[in-house]
Structure 1
Amino acid sequence: MAETYFLGYSTPDGFLTHITDDIGSRKYKTFILKGGPGTGKSSLMKRVVKELSEVETPELYYCSSDPDSLDAVLFRGLGIIVVDGTSPHVIEPKYPGVSEILINLGSCWDSNKLNDAKEKIIAATIKNKKYHAVVRRYLRAIISINEDVLTVGETCLNKEKLDAYCDRLSSRLFPKKKCSPTAVSFRQITSLTPKGVLTNKTNFDGMNVFIVNDEYYAVRARLLDKLANAACSNGYEVIVSSDMFLQGNIYQHVVIPELKIAIISGNCDNLFDMPYHTAKINAMRFYDISKLKDKKKRAEFDRGVAEKLIGEAITALKNAKNVHDELESWYINAMNFDKVSAITDKLIEDIRHAAM
């Protein structure tokens, strides 16, 4: 089964994606798709996946603004990336024609038909951007509020007890390998979407899953960071997913594929009834309960406000998607999809040639 991720996530300062790390590594030939909404970028990538799945199962990267839409596919064995390079994740070639190839689906539209809907397209584009600006403002507030909860947790954290537990757990889970240390790889497993806060749970299939239930975030932040570093130090590939509702690269999930181990946050809405082996880590045993007592109501208030703001951000994303769907309809009407199909045929041929 293919690994499935989100291409990235919204932040108060714009969209963040780590696929640019892979593109910038120069290990891959990257095909960057350009064109407007509704020009067939996702459908093109889905066809690439269908046609080449017998060669290699790729990693699939979905759009957080529309989780049914593909934003990128990555064939690690073949050294190939196909990615949507349009807003909000604008990607431009650094070594055009060498490491990156531009594919312009805008060459397949009828400009006259687009001009007929010019004012509607401009108005809808502006409206869509305004909704995304609302999402970013909500995220800034959510992160600020959650930082207060994290601060409460950090002031009540028994670091010595937690660090000792981390050392014991990492010694048990990550036997040392005779190879050089590795570095973490960022891939987004959970993201805010118009359908809610979604987690791609299929990445945990067949794994031993440790769920960290932590209402104050400090235990999970320190635990996952230390476990990820320990696994890297012992030579394992480590995949980490950032918590978009906390400041900085605080990990929400850590996955060690070789060992079939995942250490994940229990603060995700769609993780219940997981059909695989799980163990729960109770974060409360690493807090000073007497210190927490005076701060409990403050943290509960913060979490309640953050939850409501997340709900409002989801509503704004739904509104943005509705407007985006309108934009797509005008571009779809102007597209020559026979030309898109021909471009897709050529791309598949180029990838097959690269695999030979």
Structure 2
Amino acid sequence: MMDHKGKRLDFFLAANSPVGFASYFGALDGGDPAFTTYILGGCPGCGKSTLLRRVGEALLDRGETVEFIHCASDPGSYDAVLCPGLHLGVVDGTPPHGMVPRYPALAEQFVDLYRFTDPAAIAPHREEITARLDESARLQRRSGRFLSAAASLLRDNSAVVTPCLDLPKLERYALSTAKRLLPPLDKKGRTFDRFLSHLTPSGPQPLCETAAGFGRVILLEDSYQTAAPLFLERMAKIALAAGYDVYACYSPLSPYDKLEHLVLPEADLCLVSEPRQNAYAQALPTPFRHVYSRRFTDLDALYPYRNRLSFNKKAAKELVREAARLCAEAQEAHRQAEALYALGTDRAGVDALAGLLVEKLTAR
């Protein structure tokens, strides 16, 4: 048993996005053939998030590096805890995550929490529960339409800005940065796809605690979020080739093709991007390095498009704000359904099972 606390990393594996519920749950193991996933099945409000927190904290106490995966709809709750060092993860497998075992009893093991909810106890609330869950889903879909409109405007800005970038200069800077900070490792690197920020009910919000846990942080300030993703792509490729495990964190507004942040635990390095210096700059310890996108941008060439760019940014901000409001309403509707499910849940039974699971996983 190790006598020091391990390293905690906070991420999302899913996000509300312009294409609906964008998920990396299907690739949470990073391609590790020895990985075992414990899939939790249970009703809303039965205590899955509490169980996940207990497991994660127990693994931290054991000295392991643990990923705490926050819920896409309620960042105060958890959808999973992952421990790559022990080749294991515990995951909420209920919709919308849709965790279907590929190799049952081998790569995945099912943990049944449904048996702790008494159908007879919640039957009187059936109409209200279904109404609340349907309302939550409707609001999430409507939120997605606003996000789609915002993403379209931001893509127009990228189309304007990209031809004004000095890509060779950006490439040289990435290579020189990597040479200083990423000495080659004698192993093969792996890529883990994640989200480090998310459209929360209180608006766009990064998980600053993850970045704050690193000794070296590079803050990329990029008003149009066009140069920063390209720089991060190049850094990710260099780091992977040098043998580093790369946590590639995508933008919720472009969830499968635009990097927003990069986390390199083995280098004690985190690269985060923002349109302006605000949330990260306030939360991160100093000193940390700044990289400004204007060093790669022909500002004179960009000047004729200033009104178009400004309009798109302002309109997208308003659309995202409305999407966040709808997400807050969806979250509240889901919480109301959870509270009704909890009326029929044997929490003592769930707690006992959680204790057994913690004992099993920490004995590995």
TM-score category, normalised to shorter length: over 0.9
Which residue of 2 is the match for residue 216 of structure 1?
A: 224
Equivalent residue in structure 1 for 2:52, among 25, 42, 45: 45
* Alpha-carbon distance in 1 for matches of 2:112, 2:55: 16
Shift of 1:328: 0.8
Q: Does 1:55 align with 2:62?
A: yes
Residue identity over aligned pairs, in percent, reads 28
* Alpha-carbon distance in 1 for matches of 2:84, 2:171: 35
Distance 1:265 1:140, change over 3 A: same
CA deviations 1:249-284 (Å, max 9, x no partner) are 211111222222222102375213222321111211
Which residue of 1 is the match for residue 16 of structure 2?
A: 10
- Deviating more after overlay: 167-176 vs 301-310: 167-176
Which residue of 2 is the match for residue 21 of structure 1?
A: 27
* Alpha-carbon distance in 1 for matches of 2:240, 2:91: 28
Which residue of 1 is the match for residue 238 of structure 2?
A: 230
- Deviating more after overlay: 111-120 vs 51-60: 51-60
Structure 2, unaligned runs of 5 or more? 1-6
Distance 1:257 1:95, change over 3 A: same
* Aligned partner letter, 1:148: D
* Aligned partner letter, 1:15: F
Which residue of 1 is the match for residue 314 of structure 2?
A: 304
Shift of 1:156: 1.3
Equivalent residue in structure 2 for 1:282, among 292, 310, 314: 292
- Deviating more after overlay: 65-74 vs 164-173: 164-173
* Aligned partner letter, 2:22: L
Shift of 1:183: 4.0
* Alpha-carbon distance in 2 for matches of 1:195, 1:216: 22
CA deviations 1:269-322 (Å, max 9, x no partner) are 521322232111121122222221111111111110111111111101110111
Which residue of 1 is the match for residue 325 of structure 2?
A: 315
* Aligned partner letter, 1:60: F
Instruction: Say what the alpha-carbon RMSD is for the aligned residues.
Output: 1.9
Structure 1, unaligned runs of 5 or more? none
Equivalent residue in structure 2 for 1:136, among 117, 136, 144: 144
Partner SS, residue 343 of structure 2:
helix
- Deviating more after overlay: 261-270 vs 41-50: 261-270
Partner SS, residue 334 of structure 1:
coil
Which residue of 1 is the match for residue 350 of structure 2?
A: 340
* Alpha-carbon distance in 2 for matches of 1:71, 1:248: 20
| Shift >4 Å, 4+ stretches | none
Shift of 1:210: 1.5
Distance 1:246 1:21, change over 3 A: closer
CA deviations 1:126-163 (Å, max 9, x no partner) are 10110110121122112111101111111211223222
* Alpha-carbon distance in 2 for matches of 1:352, 1:247: 34
TM-score (norm 2): 0.91
CA deviations 1:171-211 (Å, max 9, x no partner) are 2332334x355343222211111132221222222422221
Which residue of 2 is the match for residue 146 of structure 1?
A: 154
Paired residues in the alignment total 353
* Alpha-carbon distance in 2 for matches of 1:180, 1:345: 36
Shift of 1:345: 2.6
* Alpha-carbon distance in 2 for matches of 1:3, 1:164: 30
Check the 8 A contact 2:25/2:99 in 1, yes or no.
no
* Alpha-carbon distance in 2 for matches of 1:158, 1:281: 15
TM-score (norm 1): 0.93
**Aligned residue runs from structure 1 range 164-179, under 5 A:** 164-177=172-185, 179=186
Check the 8 A contact 2:43/2:117 in 1, yes or no.
no
Check the 8 A contact 2:197/2:205 in 1, yes or no.
yes
* Alpha-carbon distance in 1 for matches of 2:300, 2:124: 68
Which residue of 2 is the match for residue 272 of structure 1?
A: 281
